[in-house]
Amino acid sequence: MSNRRIKIIFRKVRDANLNYHLIENGDRVAVGLSGGKDSFTMLYFLDLLQKHTPLLFEIVPIYIDLGWENEIDSLEDFCTSLGMELIVEKTNIGRVVFETRKEQNPCSLCSNLRRGAMNRVAKRYNCNKVALGHHLDDAVHTLFMSMLYESRFNVFKPSTYLSRVDITMIRPLIYVEERDIRLFVESMELKTVKNRCPADGLTKRNEVAEILDQVEALHPGARRRILASLENVGPDCFWQPPPKDT
């Protein structure tokens, strides 16, 4: 990938951080890594944010092992190349979801259990924030899933304070498109972790993504404009950047 493309992604991460105060001085950020392209990209650009901005914060990379025996050597090597040590938390979440609970729609329960495990590990390592790798496409897909399957207008926010656990959940890639992430990972020749989850690639989210791919083909830039419209609607429907200091 050219330096220009890296600069484009970095600018989007920086702009999201400036607009929503995702990371501030003194933060200790637990970075949730799945080993997929999104989490590789998030860690790389958070490292750049730490090195090339005045912000003073710490990064703690964490992998929640769901019990699928995924091979994570490449993820550990990537963390090492950035001067970090990957924390691996082993769980039985996969068995609970598919064998104990036998969920018809396993992704929702798995996500909740995984997030709970992530928050517990983050607290154990004295982190006050947890960074997740959701990007621009994820925000738009979530919105459409909410409308199509739940009859409501709802989407996650770039920053959410969880009072019950005293942790703020942030999404640094909220302005970054998936295609840029894919190009970044390919150009860097990063070896992502193969996900052995039985439900991988078979979710409603994949169906919605295919629909929006068709919309994007007919109307290039549609996802960006949908995200911008969410910012313009108001806080009751989505979010707005906080007012600037006067």
What domains does the chain contain, in order, with CATH numbers?
A: 3-233 (3.40.50.620)
pLDDT digits (tens, 9 = 90+) for 104-140: 677 778 888 999 999 999 999 999 999 999 999 999 8
DSSP 181-198: HHHHHHHTT--PPPP--T
Work out the burial of residue 135: count CB atoms within 10 Å of its CB; fewer than 13 is exposed, 13-18 middle, 19 or more buried. buried
pLDDT at 246: 36
Cα 91 vs. chain centroid, distance in angstroms? 20
pLDDT digits (tens, 9 = 90+) for 7-29: 999 999 999 999 999 999 999 99
**pTM across the whole model:** 0.86
pLDDT at 233: 67
DSSP 20-70: HT-S-TT-EEEEEE-SSHHHHHHHHHHHHHHHHSS---EEEEEEEE-SS--
pLDDT digits (tens, 9 = 90+) for 198-236: 766 556 778 888 888 888 888 899 888 888 887 776 555
Quote the CA–CA distance of 169 and 29 in Å, as a whole number.
10
